[in-house]
Structure 1
Amino acid sequence: MRFAATRVEAAGEHDDPRGIPIRTILLGVAGVMLIALGGTGAGATLKRDPLLTDTSLSWIRYGHGHDLATAVLYIGLGLVVWAWVRLGRMVRNRHVGSAAVLTAVVAWTLPLLFAPPLFSKDIYSYLAQGQLALNGLDPYEVGPAVLQSPLSDNVSWVWQNTPAPYGPLFMMLAEGVVWATNASVIGGVVAMRLVLALGLVLVCWALPGLARHLGGRPAVALWLAGANPLMLVHLIGGAHNDVIMVGLMAAGVLLVLDRRHVFGIALVALAFSVKATAVIAVPFLVLVWARRMPGSRNAQLAKAVAAGGMTFVGVFAATTAIAGLDLGWIPALGTSSTIVNWLSLPSAVGDFAFTVTNLVVSVEPGVFMTIARGLGSLLLLYVAWRQWRAADEGGPGAIRHAALTMLALALLSPATLPWYFSWALVLGAGLAWTTPALNRATFFSVFLLLVTFPDGNTALYSWGYLVLAAGVSALACVTSTRPDPLRLSGRYT
């Protein structure tokens, strides 16, 4: 993953905005509205929707009605990708700047706030876990199934008996949403999305500053990580708490680079209190802080580790105490290993090894998966150590190594889902990307957007569909630098 080398634009240059691309933004708005409309029938819908059940519109969720809704949703996805690629060309060519991208982010996000859950049922788990806490039950000890409520009824069967693997800050947010909406499913979905959108706000606030420190362009960073359909459709439409985590983490990283070290690490501790992934950034931020301290290298490290550790542990401990919870969510992190797909390289290797061996002799799959994931974890530790050592000089370059470590975490974790790649995307968006690297980012962003079906089921084993998704992603990649490669139009904007 190369960020530097032949840069798209020289570092330090400023955007030269020439207005707001209204037609391109409206193209994306039309797309997200179609996604929201199609999602009422084809998304991760409720088992019993009080708005549609027993009404004349209930047909949209069955038979030909469901097929029509699915078609509408995918047409919407196509329009959003088209609009994002068009906007990216304008940004790369300096026809528009950060203001245009921020306008697009707002316009493309608003319809998704009120759409049914899309591409995932996780939001139902969040709400049910919040209801557990509100009812005085420990969400780190029991799963949603004990509730027998409308919220728990809509949780995926995989997570019905699973304790919450999320930190105390997120549990407080989920509990507050359930309390404020009186445990309403639809009200809870909208309210939770509004809370999650604060994470997107933090991302968009932090990215220009990160670009300033890391040598990239603010408009490119905002386009790549703020307006990206992978971020908007999955993290807002799919309503994943990763967006709060990456928002707090990005803001914390920016504050550390701005020499507000204590506040920055405190925000990363809050990000960790949402989802454990954020802890990866801490060792790299310690290196940044250490280089700014007096004394020998060992003295610098000792001071930074002590100050950073006290800040991180203090904020996390205070958050845990305020939430009235314990550390039960940390052992629960292993529950995600029930997910098996080939986005996780160790899981892919284990599954492939089992399949090949099983052709010759009948064997159990568990041992292959255990060995492959164990080796993957060891490789991840090695990569993280090498990246941390490579960041020893501190400074903004350490954030590049943190982004690469986040990418390695997504690839080498026992379980990986498409939106996990947003972790590295946000941290690395402010770097000076090469044109080939931006093209690869475009391809994989679109591909990862498409590898989950609208109802939340994986498409990673539907090989014909994946070939089509790869073709669409390749077309988006080519179109990002060559307008109208299929010669369908005479217009080149």
Structure 2
Amino acid sequence: MMDPKTSRVLRVLPILTITGFCVSIAFMALAGLCRFPATVPPLDGDGLFPRLRWTPDSDLWVTGILWTAMISGVISLTAGLLAVRQGWRPRPGRLVAVGSLAIAVLVIAPPMGTTDTMDYVVYGRMAALGYNPHVMTPRQFRAQGDPVGALAPEPWQDIPSVYGPLATATEWAASEMPGGSATSTVFWLKIWNALAFLAAALALDRLAGPDRSRRVRVHLLWTLNPLMLWALIGGAHVDGLAVGFAVAGLAVAGPAILRSGLAGLLLGAAAAVKAPYLLLGAGAAWAVRRAPRSLLALGVGATTILVAGYAVIGTAGITATTRRSESPSWNTPWQLLIPLIGRLPSWLSLASLVLAVAVAALLLRTRPYDLGKGAAWLGTALAICTAWVVTTPVYYPWYEALVFPLVALYPATRLDWIQLARALVATLGCLPGVAFRLGDPWLRSAMMHGPLPYLVPVALLILVLALVGEAALRRTARDVL
């Protein structure tokens, strides 16, 4: 018989979970629909995305709305995870339905929280006109006088596409869809991201198996994760497409040669969208390391996709990707070296790689937890991907899409809270998202030159140290409940 205290908890936590989630999604949509400059990049205004008549008085209001959305979303996730530990077992199908509704709301809202979406639009327009976006920069394209090129965000004017050939293909296809405007291109990119996000949710549900508690955990940390919905659907980042292919590849991976070959094709497709997703292939390779034919099939599948893609766009795609790591993002803990040594060293990429290997080795020293026969990749993939995300010199909150599906499949540990905290800190630091367009000069200055650019790297460093310390102290994955 359930004790009264547990009974009360099970009544309160689920209500808090669903309420917090709904508030989070509603506030995200409100921020995008009510006032564009603070969080939405410039569009060509063909009326595809709706607008609300109400407009808050200042960009500070929009920033506050988004902070409320993210914090309430994390409270919702925390309550849900605690409720599952106490025995909450809602029907997974209902959680998928709620998540699908949230996705639909964010799809019909304009792109929010980033200017990356407009980069995708410009790259797609270049490809549609016969240019190579991995060679031509947005500034060069803008000089051609194309109206879509005029919308290219200023911060990335001199950087060609750093994404893979499959990402370029989807951007080209979106540009060729009926409408032809930047706004319609964004809409189609959001549609494809939404489908990929849902495909990942269904694949994760399959990987979780028949245990309802594990299925609920998957949908809390992925399908109903406001931080990921904001980044991948609201922001339409290309990572959404990559994670859809990657999780589908992991779902079909297995010792059979045909399954390994198909998994290789899907994981290769994920890496052909965004290169870091190749790391998930390391986990799949580890699972079949004792079956040479399956390992070969996995490698051939991935290589086939990558070679075919890069044969189309040329080696410039690889060059652009490697050069991107030479320009660390503002929020990475590596930036804390600047006050000490004056500027970041040229060997930073190598140093980050060495550190990633060391962190991965530390995380792997515990006994990796796996999903059982045919899915012995989880512990390895989680260690490798987490190590890369926390050490890379180029980091944004949507990079956490590489880790969240794996955490969702993993047993409940303290990693849950570290992961949520890291994603929340990184997301808050990037709000409202289009800082250089903020209409309030003092707020723009505070966001770009105030304490935030220092506080976020410090907070992320503390969380990395917490992750490393926690891994160093535990003996096995089971010790971290």
TM-score under structure 2 normalisation?
A: 0.77
Q: Where does residue 137 of structure 1 map in the other structure?
A: 131
Q: Where does residue 251 of structure 1 map in the other structure?
A: 248
Does the alignment pair 1:356 with 2:340? yes
CA gap 1:129/1:223 in 2 versus in 1, 3 angstroms: same
- Whole-angstrom distance in 2 between the partners of 1:56 and 1:89: 36
Query: What count of residue pairs does the alignment treat as equivalent?
Result: 425
- Whole-angstrom distance in 2 between the partners of 1:33 and 1:47: 17
**Is the deviation greater in 452-461 or in 136-145?**
452-461
- Whole-angstrom distance in 1 between the partners of 2:457 and 2:109: 23
CA gap 1:419/1:248 in 2 versus in 1, 3 angstroms: same
Does the alignment pair 1:46 with 2:42? yes
Q: Where does residue 443 of structure 1 map in the other structure?
A: 421
- Where 1:147 maps in the other structure, the secondary structure is helix
- Whole-angstrom distance in 1 between the partners of 2:396 and 2:205: 27
Question: Is the 1:41–1:65 contact (alpha carbons within 8 Å) kept by the matching residues of 2?
Answer: no
CA deviation profile, 1:325-380 (whole Å, cap 9, x unmatched): 323211111343364346534x23xx42x41345xxxxxx2xx4324443222232
CA gap 1:215/1:257 in 2 versus in 1, 3 angstroms: farther
Q: Where does residue 273 of structure 2 map in the other structure?
A: 274
- Whole-angstrom distance in 1 between the partners of 2:167 and 2:412: 33
- Whole-angstrom distance in 2 between the partners of 1:357 and 1:23: 47
- Whole-angstrom distance in 2 between the partners of 1:342 and 1:332: 19
CA gap 1:214/1:25 in 2 versus in 1, 3 angstroms: closer
- Where 2:394 maps in the other structure, the secondary structure is coil
Question: Is the 2:331–2:457 contact (alpha carbons within 8 Å) kept by the matching residues of 1?
Answer: no
Does the alignment pair 1:109 with 2:103? yes
Equivalent position amino acid for 1:410 in 2:
V
CA gap 1:465/1:273 in 2 versus in 1, 3 angstroms: closer
Structure 2 unaligned blocks of 5 or more: 1-13, 437-446, 460-481
Q: Where does residue 11 of structure 1 map in the other structure?
A: none
- Whole-angstrom distance in 1 between the partners of 2:211 and 2:390: 24
- Where 2:313 maps in the other structure, the secondary structure is coil
CA gap 1:28/1:453 in 2 versus in 1, 3 angstroms: closer
Question: Is the 2:331–2:456 contact (alpha carbons within 8 Å) kept by the matching residues of 1?
Answer: no
Q: Where does residue 34 of structure 1 map in the other structure?
A: 30
CA deviation profile, 1:450-472 (whole Å, cap 9, x unmatched): 1102233495874369879999x
Does the alignment pair 1:336 with 2:324? yes
Q: Where does residue 231 of structure 1 map in the other structure?
A: 228
Question: Is the 1:38–1:72 contact (alpha carbons within 8 Å) kept by the matching residues of 2?
Answer: no
Equivalent position amino acid for 2:409 in 1:
G
Question: Is the 1:268–1:282 contact (alpha carbons within 8 Å) kept by the matching residues of 2?
Answer: yes
- Whole-angstrom distance in 1 between the partners of 2:261 and 2:211: 20
Equivalent position amino acid for 1:130 in 2:
G
Equivalent residue runs for 1:262-301 within 5 Å:
262-291=261-290, 293=291, 300=292
Q: Where does residue 66 of structure 1 map in the other structure?
A: 59
Structure 1 unaligned blocks of 5 or more: 1-17, 294-299, 359-364, 472-493
- Whole-angstrom distance in 2 between the partners of 1:309 and 1:181: 38
Does the alignment pair 1:312 with 2:308? no
CA gap 1:178/1:342 in 2 versus in 1, 3 angstroms: closer
Give 1:172's match in structure 2, choosing from 169, 173, 189. 169
Question: Is the 2:352–2:392 contact (alpha carbons within 8 Å) kept by the matching residues of 1?
Answer: yes
Equivalent position amino acid for 2:33 in 1:
L
TM-score under structure 1 normalisation?
A: 0.75
Does the alignment pair 1:403 with 2:382? yes
Q: Where does residue 476 of structure 2 map in the other structure?
A: none
Alpha-carbon shift at residue 179 of structure 1 (Å):
0.8
Equivalent residue runs for 1:1-20 within 5 Å:
none
- Whole-angstrom distance in 1 between the partners of 2:135 and 2:451: 38
CA gap 1:282/1:438 in 2 versus in 1, 3 angstroms: closer
- Where 2:315 maps in the other structure, the secondary structure is coil
- Whole-angstrom distance in 2 between the partners of 1:44 and 1:19: 31
- Where 2:314 maps in the other structure, the secondary structure is coil
- Where 2:316 maps in the other structure, the secondary structure is coil
CA gap 1:306/1:452 in 2 versus in 1, 3 angstroms: same
**Is the deviation greater in 241-250 or in 88-97?**
88-97
The CA RMSD measured in Å over matched residues stands at: 3.8
Alpha-carbon shift at residue 289 of structure 1 (Å):
2.0
